[in-house]
Each structure stands twice: as structure tokens, then as C-alpha cells.
């Protein structure tokens, strides 16, 4: 248990989210039950007005969640200075059993809410409001995950013990068979690189073709493969240390906070193509060119940044790690 | 918001100052423990400690606290010899610049002030343990980068310290080890503990962690202040959330009459709230900055000070860090925006004529 100002801030905002989201949930259930675009009852009018409120609130939550996620990682990173053994966020996160789930869940929620927003924008544009029901169904599902996240986050900071000794990221992400990623570590560097650049090309290809199913598939796989490649290969070049595989340490000041840029570009690169493809699946229309383009640009930036590290290293030292 | 950021600024400055102090401290300090209390350490141990591989030098330190009853304060008296190697930067500077002869002393600014107030202008009479007086001349006042550590310090020759505190000739207060390679510190600690199991070994890292604990985790005072500040802010927010003023209602009514949809109005309110709260944030920040660093935070600063009168006299060094700014930002701007949405929606969803009436 540790209440630093950062933790209080995070928890306070979580309480706020909880209140707002619950209010929204009640309204959405009401909307789901009684929504009928064809009637002209006063109930329908009221619902339409309420739907605006809910939409605004969800937008608000999402806009806040983006920087808040970075802030979460940042403050966990700071706590690592106090906990024995932890060198970066990885140690702190793993000091609690479900810490890793919390981070993944947070990321997942970002995608969920982001997708909701895309749905909302489309809904606003269509005259018949055909997405409204789907939109609120979707929110009801997202709500469950949001609450799960809030509960997790509270118990995370509750369970955090400052004087407990935790594993450092060096052991968590090592090739030792006991580490959580032992299976992944059996891949060789060449395999990883082939996989990564293969996926990169496939993703780019899918974005160029604007192929729905292909880009749906490639967005997800590219995200996973990128993270694995970061841990296995690119990370070691950022640290210039062949044994250090941590995906959290490069968020720190020593590496000029490069991790934030890497992760943000990766998020944008996969999110837009994914949501565009998903939208096309739901409704057959082809008006998502812009989304694919955004995705394409960020995919290129992301790949350039992380490929730059090994290249620069090679140019400087004349050898690969 | 102003209060909140001021508090955070001060805490941050103090932490920064402590960290700076820490950096000038020796890497390893060896103390002797007896019955769980700090005891004088025998000088015979010095040679054995020097024999440990990796230890660059071992210097005995002579220091103690002298209680000056008239002013009700503690002085920290440190004994040094001109020919000694300096174990900290301050000492180093001091030994290069100042001299205090055989019966003089150099004092920190805080000490100098207290002495002046008590009419000791040229010398000070220390009361020895047998009750007799020892007169020590005031050779000068020194000034260090971090005043937190040096304010209550008095430097004087080793022999004088031994005389005043009645220390045995073959013992010192503790021993400071200098280590060439930082990475070897854990090894050396283990070896010291093996040779002298009754010793307590303190490293820089230990100190750093305990300091951070004080300022981040265990300081109830800080937390209490922080919570008070937040709740005051919430009260204001609550007031804001409970309703819009007549003017604002009218404004929304006119916008509706002009054909704005609820979405548009909410969006407009959203931006408005953001701009207002963001400017409030910036203004508060600037106000807090000037309050803390230009005016040295009157009133508020005293809350953070220690028990000793002497310690309270120091400058807050200027630091700013990103995480503190973001804490203040996240606590203020989003909450204000959230508080503005519901009342605006309520008004916006009413009919235009109803609102304006």
C-alpha cells in the first residue's frame, strides 16, 4: 500500500470514471430497450437527448484515458525506485500477481473505447442513426472491461508492497526457461526478424490494397509480432546490451523516453487499420481511406524508428550485437 | 490548485536538495553497534578495513551533537584535521579555503546567527562533560551549496572535538570508506560485516531510499495537506456542477434558438471548460512558482521544516519536474470538465424558449 500523489491522482480519476460510466450504462440500457427511430414519442426524444450526453461522456473518458495510460506507466516507473529489486515498471507491475493483466487490460480498453469512438463518428454522420443500437451494446460490453480495470487498478495499488523484494526486468525477460516468455525466447534473431519484416510488409500491403479481412488480421498480428520483436531484438539495440530484453526500461529517461514514442506510433499504426477494417465488416461501405493512410504513415514511422537503432549501432561499431 | 502546486513544488525542492546532499556524502559509513545503539568505533579497525580489496581509503570521523540550552538548539560539531583527506565536497572546499588554527572553528550560517543573537561574537564557551568550560574562537562563517546540511554545522580541529565530547584517544565516531568502483559496494559491505559482525554499514543508497520514503510514502503530513487541498478543490467543483448561472443558461438558449444542436452546444462547452481550466492551471502554476521560488514560500514552508530551529533557514532550490506537473494537471483540468458537462447538458436539452424565459 502506497499513496503517492500520483497514485491518489490515478485513483481519484478512476472513481470519477466509475461514476460517469455507471451513469452512462443505465442510460444506455434504457436506450437499448426503448430506442426506436421511427416513433415520435416523447420518450424517444428524451432518449435521443440522453444519447448525446452518454456519447460526450464516453468521448471524455477515452480522451482522458490516453494520456492517463502513459501517466500510469510513468508513475509505476517512478515507484520502481523505491521497491527493492525493481529497476523499471516491469518489476513493479510483476510484483503483484495480476499486474501484467492490468497493463494488458488497460491497453485493450484503449482499443475498445477508441473503436467505440469510430463507431460514434460514423453514427453521427449517418442520417438514420443505424449504428446507435450497436454502439450502446458495444458500450455495455466495454463497461464490463472498464469496471474490471478500475477494480484491478485499486487492488493493484492496494497489493503493492514497498518493502517486498521483486524480480528485476532482467530476470523477467530473460532466456531462462523459468521466465514468463520462455516459449518466445526459443526463436532465433533471424526468425524474429523474418517474422517482423514479413508482417510489416504484409501489413503495408494490406493497407495499400485496403483489403478488409487482410488488414483486420494483419493489424492484430503486426501488433503482437512487433512487441515480441521489440523484446527479443530491437530492445537489445536500444540498450546496446545483448542480455537486456525489457520492454519497459526504454520508457525511462536514460533512453530519452523513446519508448513512449515507439508505443504511441505502434498503437496508432494498428488501431486505425483495425477499426477501419472492423467498420467495413459491420457495414459494407468504403469510406475509410483516411484511416488506412494514417495507419500506413505510423506503421512506417514505427518501423523506421526501431530499425534505426540496430542500423545506427552497426554503423557506429561495425558489428551486430 | 495554487496551494496544491505550491505544496508539490516545495516537497520537490526539498527532495532535490536532499538528493544533492546525498551525492556529496561518502559511499559507505561503518558504525559500531552495541546493544543496538551507535557506539564509538575503535581505530584499530582502520587497518583491517583498509586491507579489504577495493577500499580506496578509510577515514575516521569525529562528530557529535552539542546541545546549546540558551537557544534550545543542537549544533552538529565535526572534527577535521587540515591534513586529512576530505570525505565530502563541502569539507574539501572548506579545507582549501578556510583555516581555523588550533583553537578556532568555522560555523554554518545558521549557527553564526544564533551565536550572534546570544552575544557570542568572537568566541563560544563549550561546556565539557566534566562541567568546565572550553573557549573556542570563531574563525569564520562558511557557506555551502546545500544549506540544509550545513546550516547547523560547526567545524573545528579534531583535538578540540575530542576534548569537548571527552572522546577516548583511540576511538572515533565512525569510519568512512571511499570505494573506487561503485559496483563493488555490496561486496565490500559483505566483507566488512564478516570481519566485524557488530558493525552497521550504511550506504548512499540506503539513505536515498529512506529519504524518498519520507517524502513520498510515510509523510502523513504531506498527505494530509494534499488531501485537504484536493477536497477544497472538489468543493468548488461541486458548487460548479450544481447549476449554471442565469447568464450561461441564456447563452445556451440563444445558441439553441439559432439552430445549434445539443451536440454542438456540449462540444462548445467542452472546449470552453478546457480552455478555462487549462488557463487556470497555467496561472496557478506561475503563481505557485513565483510564490515558492521568488518569495521562498512563506507560511507553507514551515510545515515541512524539522524540529530544530536551526534547520529552518535554507533556500528552496529551483526544480521542476514533469510528473508533478502532470499530477496537478490530471487532478484539476479533467475534473473541472466533467463537472461542467452535466449541467450544460441539462440546460441544452431543454427547449430554447423555455431556457430563455
Are the C-beta atoms of B348 and B256 separated by less than 8 Å? Answer: yes
Whether chain B has a CB inside 8 Å of the CB on A6: the answer is yes
CB contact under 8 A, B323 and A56: no
- A190: closest CA of chain B, how far (Å): 35
Taking CA atoms, what residue in A is nearest to B343? A53
> What b/e sequence results for A96-125 when a residue is b if at least 16 CB atoms lie within 10 Å of its CB, and e otherwise?
beebebbbebbeebbbbbbbbbbbbebbee
Helices (runs of H) and strands (runs of E) counted in chain A: 12, 0
Q: For each of chain A's 321 residues, which pLDDT tens digit applies?
A: 566 777 878 888 888 889 889 988 998 888 888 887 777 788 888 888 888 888 888 888 888 888 888 888 888 877 777 676 666 777 777 777 777 788 888 888 988 888 888 888 888 877 777 778 888 888 888 999 999 999 988 888 888 776 667 777 766 676 554 555 666 777 788 888 898 899 899 888 888 888 888 888 888 888 888 888 888 888 888 888 887 777 778 887 778 888 888 888 988 888 888 888 887 777 656 667 888 888 889 999 999 998 988 888 889 888 887
Q: Do B266 and A56 touch (CB under 8 A)?
A: yes
Q: Which cell goes with B70?
A: 540558551
- Asked if B338 and A16 come within 8 Å (Cβ–Cβ), the reply is yes
What is the model's pLDDT at position A321? 72
Q: Which pLDDT score, from 0 to 100, does residue A145 have?
A: 92
Residues of A in contact with B262 (CB under 8 A): 49, 52
Q: Residue A221 in contact with residue A228, Cβ under 8 Å?
A: no
Q: Does the distance separating the beta carbons of A75 and B341 come in below 8 Å?
A: no
pLDDT in tens, B202-241: 777 777 666 666 655 445 555 666 677 677 777 777 776 6
- Min Cα–Cα distance to chain A from B91, Å: 29
| CA-based nearest distance B349→chain A, Å | 6
Cβ count near B115 (within 10 Å): 21
- Residue % of chain B over a pLDDT of 90: 0
Of A13, A81, A162, the CB nearest to B330: A13
Distant-in-sequence, close-in-space partners of A30: CB < 8 Å, separation ≥ 6: A47, A50
Q: What is the pLDDT of residues B125-153, one digit of tens each?
A: 888 878 888 888 777 777 655 555 567 77
Mutate to test the interface with B, among A4, A61, A87 (most CBs of B within 10 A): A4
Distance between CA A64 and CA A14 in Å, rounded?
Answer: 11
Distance from CA of B97 to the nearest CA of A (A): 37
Q: Which of A56, A72, A121, A129 to mutate to test the interface with B (most CBs of B within 10 A)?
A: A56
Contact between A74 and B270 using a beta-carbon 8 Å cutoff: no
Kindly write down the DSSP assignment for every residue of B18-52, as one continuous string: HHHHHHTS-SEEEEEEETTEEE-EETTHHHHHHHS
The ipTM is 0.71
The residue extents of the domains of chain A are: 1-167, 173-321
Of residues B216, B223, B230, nearest to A82 (C-beta): B216
A66 to chain B, any CB pair closer than 8 A? The answer is: no
Q: DSSP H helical segments within B78-157, as ranges?
A: 89-97, 109-117, 147-150
Which of B19, B213, B217, B234 to mutate: most A Cβ within 10 Å? B217
Write the residue in A8, A16, A74 that is nearest to B323 by C-beta. Answer: A74
Q: CB contact, 8 Å: B124 with chain A?
A: no
**Residues B13, B291 contacting (CB under 8 angstroms):** no
Q: What is the pLDDT of residue B117?
A: 80
Q: Give per-residue pLDDT as tens, B147-161.
A: 555 677 787 777 788
Alpha-carbon distances of A191 from A195, A196, A197, A225, B10, rounded to whole Å: 6, 8, 10, 11, 52
Residue in A287, A275, A157, A9 with CA at minimum distance from that of residue B331: A9
Residues 97-136 of A with CB under 8 A from B: 124
Q: Which of residues 156-215 of A touch B (CB under 8 A)?
A: 162
> CB B230 to CB A55 under 8 A?
no
Amino acid at each position: 500500500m502506497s499513496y503517492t500523489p500520483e497514485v491518489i491522482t490515478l485513483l481519484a480519476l478512476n472513481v470519477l470514471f466509475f461514476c460517469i460510466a455507471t451513469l452512462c450504462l443505465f442510460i444506455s440500457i434504457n436506450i437499448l430497450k426503448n430506442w426506436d427511430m421511427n416513433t415520435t414519442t416523447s420518450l424517444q426524444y428524451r432518449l435521443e437527448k440522453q444519447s448525446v450526453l452518454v456519447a460526450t461522456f464516453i468521448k471524455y473518458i477515452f480522451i482522458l484515458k490516453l494520456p492517463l495510460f502513459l501517466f500510469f506507466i510513468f508513475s509505476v516507473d517512478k515507484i520502481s525506485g523505491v521497491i527493492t529489486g525493481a529497476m523499471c515498471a516491469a518489476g513493479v507491475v510483476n510484483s503483484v500477481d495480476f499486474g501484467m493483466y492490468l497493463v494488458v487490460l488497460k491497453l485493450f480498453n484503449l482499443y475498445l473505447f477508441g473503436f467505440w469512438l469510430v463507431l460514434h463518428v460514423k453514427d453521427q454522420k449517418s442520417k438514420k442513426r443505424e449504428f446507435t443500437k450497436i454502439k450502446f451494446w458495444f458500450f455495455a460490453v466495454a463497461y464490463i472491461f472498464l469496471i474490471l480495470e478500475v477494480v484491478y487498478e485499486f487492488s493493484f495499488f492496494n497489493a503493492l508492497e514497498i518493502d517486498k523484494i521483486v524480480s528485476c526486468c532482467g530476470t523477467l525477460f530473460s532466456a531462462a526457461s523459468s521466465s514468463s516468455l520462455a516459449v518466445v525466447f526459443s526463436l532465433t534473431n533471424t526468425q524474429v526478424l523474418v517474422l517482423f519484416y514479413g508482417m510489416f510488409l504484409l501489413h503495408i500491403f494490406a493497407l495499400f490494397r485496403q483489403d478488409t479481412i487482410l488488414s483486420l488480421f494483419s493489424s492484430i498480428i503486426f501488433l503482437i509480432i512487433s512487441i515480441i520483436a521489440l523484446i527479443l531484438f530491437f530492445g537489445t539495440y536500444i540498450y546496446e546490451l545483448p542480455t537486456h530484453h525489457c520492454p519497459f526500461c526504454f520508457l525511462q529517461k536514460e533512453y530519452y523516453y523513446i519508448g513512449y514514442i515507439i508505443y504511441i506510433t505502434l498503437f496508432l499504426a494498428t488501431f486505425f487499420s483495425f477499426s477501419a477494417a472492423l467498420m467495413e465488416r459491420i457495414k459494407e461501405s468504403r469510406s475509410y481511406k483516411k484511416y488506412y493512410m494514417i495507419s500506413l504513415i505510423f506503421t512506417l514511422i514505427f518501423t523506421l524508428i526501431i530499425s534505426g537503432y540496430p542500423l545506427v549501432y552497426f554503423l557506429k561499431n561495425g558489428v551486430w550485437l | 490548485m495554487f496551494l496544491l502546486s505550491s505544496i508539490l513544488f516545495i516537497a520537490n525542492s526539498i527532495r532535490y536538495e536532499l538528493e544533492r546532499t546525498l551525492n556529496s556524502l561518502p559511499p559507505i559509513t561503518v558504525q559500531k553497534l552495541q546493544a543496538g545503539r551507535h557506539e564509538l568505533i575503535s581505530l584499530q579497525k582502520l587497518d583491517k578495513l583498509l586491507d579489504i580489496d577495493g577500499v580506496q581509503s578509510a577515514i575516521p570521523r569525529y562528530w557529535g551533537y552539542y546541545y546549546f540550552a540558551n537557544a534550545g538548539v543542537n549544533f552538529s560539531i565535526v572534527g577535521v584535521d587540515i591534513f586529512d583527506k576530505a570525505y565530502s565536497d563541502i569539507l574539501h572546499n572548506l579545507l582549501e579555503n578556510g583555516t581555523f588554527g588550533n583553537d578556532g572553528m568555522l560555523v554554518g550560517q545558521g549557527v553564526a546567527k544564533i551565536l550572534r543573537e546570544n552575544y557570542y561574537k568572537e568566541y563560544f564557551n563549550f561546556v565539557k562533560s566534566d562541567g568546565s568550560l572550553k573557549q573556542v574562537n570563531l574563525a569564520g562563517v562558511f557557506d555551502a551549496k546545500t544549506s540544509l546540511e550545513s546550516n547547523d554545522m560547526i567545524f573545528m580541529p579534531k583535538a578540540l572535538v575530542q576534548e569537548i565530547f571527552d572522546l577516548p584517544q583511540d576511538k572515533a565516531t565512525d569510519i568512512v570508506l571511499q570505494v573506487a568502483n561503485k559496483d563493488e559496494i555490496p561486496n565490500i559491505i559483505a566483507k566488512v560485516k564478516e570481519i566485524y559482525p557488530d558493525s552497521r554499514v550504511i550506504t548512499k543508497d540506503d539513505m536515498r531510499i529512506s529519504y524518498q520514503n519520507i517524502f513520498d510514502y510515510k509523510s502523513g503530513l504531506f498527505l494530509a495537506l494534499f488531501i485537504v487541498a484536493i477536497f477544497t478543490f472538489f468543493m468548488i467543483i461541486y458548487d460548479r456542477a450544481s447549476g449554471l448561472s442565469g447568464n450561461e443558461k441564456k447563452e445556451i438558449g440563444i445558441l439553441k434558438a439559432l439552430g445549434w444542436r445539443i451536440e454542438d452546444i456540449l462540444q462548445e462547452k467542452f472546449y470552453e471548460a478546457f480552455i478555462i481550466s487549462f488557463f487556470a492551471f497555467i496561472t496557478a502554476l506561475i503563481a505557485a512558482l513565483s510564490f515558492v521560488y521568488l518569495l521562498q514560500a512563506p507560511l507553507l514552508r514551515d510545515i515541512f521544516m524539522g524540529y530544530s530551529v536551526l534547520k529552518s533557514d535554507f533556500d528552496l532550490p529551483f526544480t521542476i519536474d514533469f510528473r508533478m506537473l502532470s499530477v496537478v494537471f490530471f487532478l484539476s483540468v479533467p475534473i473541472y470538465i466533467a463537472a461542467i458537462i452535466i449541467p450544460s447538458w441539462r440546460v441544452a436539452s431543454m427547449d430554447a424558449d423555455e431556457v430563455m424565459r
